[in-house]
Chain A
Amino acid sequence: MNFPEHLKYTKDHEWIRIEDDVGIIGITDYAQSELGDVVFVELPAKEKHVKQGESFGTIEAVKAVSDLYTPVSGEVLEVNPRLDKTPELVNKEPYDGGWMIKVKIDNKNELNSLLDAKGYRELIGK
């Protein structure tokens, strides 16, 4: 299982990639594997303000539904338009084609509370 070093992780199995003051957010390889076949992803509207630790959407897989938690507070700049028709990208490319939202980060200090790849691996025991 793959957990890229350049990402930060939440205990709720989301990842975030930082590009200047923008955070790109998705779920980890472990999360997609635990969920199994993703059927659809419900994402917030653009311009919505999301808060660290709160739910920004839901992900429905064949076996179960699960909330998606925001790694960092900010305004939603973009949602991945491809997930509407091809939600399976979350399974196939969790860190690339399966990204979910882009957020303009309010306060980069919030990133300090996230895990690095090593910490996340320890959390899930992989």
Chain B
Amino acid sequence: MKRTAFYPIHQQLGAKIVEFAGFEMPVQYSSIFEEHKAVRNSIGLFDVSHMGEFEIRGRDAFLLAQTVTTNDVAKLCEGKAQYSTMCYPNGGIIDDLLVYHRGDRLMVVVNAANITKDFHWITSQISGLDVQVINRSDEISLLALQGPKSLATLQKLTKADLSAILYYTFIETKIADVEMIVSRTGYTGELGFELYFESSASHAEKIWNAIMNAGREFSIKPVGLGARDTLRLEMGYCLYGSDIDETTNPLEAGLGWITKLDKGKFIGRDTLLKVSQDGVKKKLVGFVMEEERAVPRHGYELRMNGTVVGTVTSGTISPTLEKGIGLGYVASQYAQPLNSLSVTIRNKDSKAKVVQVPFLKK
């Protein structure tokens, strides 16, 4: 089992540790509710160093990225990041990822559970190209600082003007005297930053403590994977392995906006073009429970008039809305907002309604 450089800190804080994608990660420190609310109302700090980072360099780096990802890499310029997916020729999603344009090279950030699979896939596509793909996952730490007070907190630790970093852009600067990438991205729907820096025990302790001290006046809280999941689900963001995987394509998953069929050749394009012309058979929808105390969970059946029309892929009680919310695939004809559904919870059908995501209107 792997550990991030922050593991001793999590232990010291008494975090509950679980196995996740081969890492021992904190799932919660105090309470998922409290940590969730800290991020929505003020600020929270997440260790997400389990995520994978690849560096792609060489003359054909951009060509390779354009070939293996669905979004249009040509739209990137230095200092910009892009959300994208990587698909098999049959359109099945290999992973969802971020692509960072770092001038002479790209940094690709992938899900922890998919590091090995993604690296093999990308490197299997390089024959004939002038390109090097380097797996830096074990060398890079990643912290996410999320919440309305994240800017004010982080600004105390650097001379760089962080308010100038627009959504999905990044700079390279020093925070607490450590060189890092400061990216205005996140998985919570709040104002927030993700910090990439060289992994070491001394960096980990120094940066963690500097941020926790700077955020003290805002009652900053460390946040575990439990609240990370409820925060992303309130925004309707997909989680790989639950809402998207190799059996789903980006058009079904509502990721058509990062699938640029007109950008030119890329892996999966032919299939996805056909899917787009024929129309998708199933769609990922958001739904809200209309009954109190009904919490949808991954794997529960979705029904309409008693007939099974789909499956829940993610579900929870929303700490902000205090209602059950979920994502699930349904046959396309049932995917319109306001459609009534039911979720089978322990052999009982509970009423739900299809809604447009995000669940949280901001």
Q: Which of A's residues lie within 8 Å of B, judged by CB? A: 33-34, 36-37, 39-40, 42, 58, 60, 62-65, 91
**How far is B155's CA from A61's CA once the two chains are assembled, in angstroms?**
37
B-side interface residues, number (CB < 8 Å) = 16
| Chain B binding surface, main DSSP class | mixed
Q: Is the CB of B295 within 8 A of A37?
A: no
Nearest residue (CB) in A for B226 is: A63
**How far is B27's CA from A40's CA once the two chains are assembled, in angstroms?**
20
Which of B16, B33, B293, B346 has a CB less than 8 Å from the CB of A62? B33
Given contacts A36-B28, A37-B31, contact A62 B297 (CB under 8 A): no
List 30 interface pairs A-B (beta carbons < 8 Å), by A numbering: A33-B16, A34-B16, A36-B16, A36-B27, A36-B31, A36-B32, A36-B226, A37-B31, A37-B32, A37-B33, A39-B293, A39-B295, A39-B317, A40-B293, A58-B346, A60-B293, A60-B295, A60-B317, A62-B32, A62-B33, A62-B226, A62-B230, A62-B317, A62-B319, A63-B27, A63-B32, A63-B226, A63-B316, A64-B297, A91-B31
Nearest residue (CB) in A for B319 is: A62
A91 partner residues in chain B, CB cutoff 8 A? 31
**How far is B16's CA from A72's CA once the two chains are assembled, in angstroms?**
31
A40 partner residues in chain B, CB cutoff 8 A? 293
| Chain A binding surface, main DSSP class | mixed
B233 to chain A, nearest CB (A): 11
**How far is B346's CA from A65's CA once the two chains are assembled, in angstroms?**
10
A44 to chain B, nearest CB (A): 14
Which of A33, A34, A42, A62 has a CB less than 8 Å from the CB of B316? A62
